[in-house]
A = this chain, B = another copy of it.
Amino acid sequence: MRRRVLTAVGATGYDAPRMTRPLPLKNDRVLRAFRKQPVDVTPVWIMRQAGRYMPEYRAIRAKADFLTLCKTPDLVTEATLLPIDLLDVDAAIIFSDILIPVEAMGMELVFTDARGPQLPKPIRDRGDVERLKAFDPETLTGFVMASIRQTNRALDGRVPLLGFAGAPFTLATYMVEGETSKHFYRIKRLAYEDPSLLHRLLERLTGVVAEYLVAQVAAGAHAVQLFDTWAGALSPDDYATWCVPYTTRIVDAVKRTGVPVVLYVNGSGTLLEAMADTGVDVISVDWRVDLADAKRRVGGRVALQGNLDPCALYAGPDVIRREATRVLEKYGPGPGHVFNLGHGILPDIPVPHAKALVTAVHEESRVYHRSGA
């Protein structure tokens, strides 16, 4: 599988991402922190930073349904830039959805505001897995690559642009459950009853995700984040079985392009060491992990991203500053911390609260980077 990915890389010229990134970055704090290099202040971005909580985003969504937005580079560029203009975050992340490559593999995908993503014909047997289409990122998800190129032109080097993908287990969960699940019982039942079929599906997805992320880097993504959101529903043994080998191969393929890789799992308190074993550069932790404890456990091997409780942004600016400062204190001095929420920003947070967070992180973190760049 690793060889197949690299062949694809060579064949399409994806091993030359520099070609598509001619602009020097005016603000490279996030990339420096991902690489544990000194910075002047702790960089910050926010998961789902372009989203429903912003009136400006809702205005874009009024023009197009969610999937159409994802497939229209002009609109993607507009949405991706919103938090750069409005919040002063230190990174942009390309506006998209983790299920885009799943749709490209031939699965019907529907988004409803009330119920989130729906896959009306979920994977039920081996035939469903075998019928999944071969994936080619430039032809099947060319709109993502075009959006990355266009967004980078619009950003003009102000901040780095992050690419992203869902990790195989989380994508497989959606493909088997057909929707966001509470107990994940179909995917777990499959794991218990037909492990070879689930491994086969994860194999397919590993190739897809690796090619998809390498293509994003070739198009100009300065770093990528792998979302294994639902992996936190697994026991550590099951995480080792169903996630670590596949994630490791993807990380390996992407790191050969030279960009940092971030891995996020929601509920990763018992998984940090196994996540670090995948070779990622950065682990993005949720708020239920004590950041000082995470640093002690895996900080020697990876940079850390996180980890304010998204609910803290319901509070006013003073409380937000206090809570942000607590997170900064937990990480303490030294490089290797990118501030973020522990999960995506909630849809009813006031925009000024998000802005207050970014300001507080930049101001309160200076003390930890006295010898910084």
- Give A contacts to B, CB under 8 Å: 183-185, 188-189, 192-193, 232-238, 267, 269-270, 287-290, 293, 309-312, 314-316, 319, 323, 326, 346
Contact = CB atoms under 8 A, between A and B. Distances in A.
Question: Looking at A188, A287, A311, A319, which has the most chain B CB atoms within 10 Å of its CB?
Answer: A311
7 contacts: A184-B311, A189-B311, A192-B311, A192-B323, A235-B288, A267-B267, A270-B290
So how many copies of this chain end up in the complex? 2
A185 B290 contact: no
A329 to B, nearest CB: 11
A284 B270 CA distance: 16
A248 B85 CA distance: 48
A305 B297 CA distance: 26
**Those 4 A-B pairs whose CB atoms lie nearest each other, nearest first:** A269-B269, A192-B315, A188-B311, A269-B270
A319 B192 contact: yes
Contacts of A311: 183-185, 188-189, 192
Nearest to A314: B189
B346 A293 contact: no
Contact of A192 (B184, B235, B312, B346): B312
Nearest to A320: B192
Nearest to A185: B311
A314 B235 contact: no
A314 B192 contact: yes
Contacts of A185: 311, 314, 346
